[in-house]
Amino acid sequence: MGLFSFLKRKKNSQLQPLIAKPPVPFFEEVFEVERAIFNSDPLVQSKNSTDHSDSSSASTGADPSADFIADHDIKVLIVTLMVGLQEFLTRMVEVPTHHHKGMRGVGRYLEDGATLPVAYTQWNQSPIQGLAAKMILKGRSRTILFGPALAMVRNIAPYGKDFDELIESAHEKGNIVYLLAVDGLAYAVFEVSHRIQEVIAP
């Protein structure tokens, strides 16, 4: 009787449908540019305008200074720095830092298929300070810096009111701010948000 009951229970259990376990959720970090300002001519705009929302120096009514850098060239500088960053991350054993991921988010934001990198030398990085390299721009070797605003502020000249407002607003929202500087002058600022989102399996 005991053996019969055991075989019956085993048969019934085999007939019961298997309950599929819910998939384990997978999450990823997303770094996204929320706002960006380009300032093609920091010296001219700081002298001739209190509103720097338009990056064209022509809007100020002043002739471009020797430090004028077109928006496209500003993007080229950052895209070039991203080439060095990607090579560095490919070699590193540790997990990329928060700032590494944030700067890559800016690089993805600027990728348009038409902005190509240029030659660079002396590329280096710091998890806190950001990225640095030497590049030839307008016939001169320039020092290019790109990193967190809080770390960069000691290494660059004062910037315009529009940059200040973006940085203050972004920090109030808990976002990250990155600055691009050329020879100590700030040419671009990026507000980057950070969130965790679930990846839906196909």
Residue with tokens 């109030």: 172
What is the structure's pLDDT at 70?
93
The predicted pLDDT at position 133 comes to 97
Report the Cα 5 to chain-centroid distance in Å.
66
Q: Is 21 a domain residue?
A: no
pLDDT tens for the chain, 202 residues: list them.
554 454 455 555 555 556 667 777 777 888 999 999 999 998 865 554 444 344 444 444 556 777 899 999 999 999 999 999 999 999 988 888 889 999 999 999 998 888 999 999 999 998 788 999 999 988 899 999 999 999 998 889 989 899 999 999 999 999 999 999 999 999 999 999 998 877 776 5
The answer to whether residue 10 is domain-embedded is no
Q: Is residue 8 part of a domain?
A: no
- Domain assignment of residue 74, yes or no: yes
User: Is the full-model pTM beyond 0.85?
Assistant: no
Residue 6 domain flag: no
Structural domain count, the chain: 1
- Model pLDDT, residue 11: 53
Can you give the residue range of the structural domain that contains 127? 26-199
CATH number assigned to the domain comprising residue 95: 3.40.1110.10
Which residues, in sequence order, are CB contacts of 150 under 8 Å at separation 6+?
177
Return the HEC string of the chain.
CHHHHHHHHHHHHHHCCCCCCCCCCEEEEEEEEEEEEECCCHHHHHHHCCCCCCCCHHHHCCCCCCCCCCHHHHHHHHHHHHHHHHHHHHHCCCCCCHHHHHHHHHHHHHCCCCCCCCCCEEEEEECCCEEEEEEEECCEEEEEEEEEHHHHHHHCCCCCHHHHHHHHHHHHCCCEEEEEEECCEEEEEEEEEEEEEEECCC
2 in any annotated domain: no
Identify any residues that bridge with 147 across adjacent strands, giving them in sequence order: 179
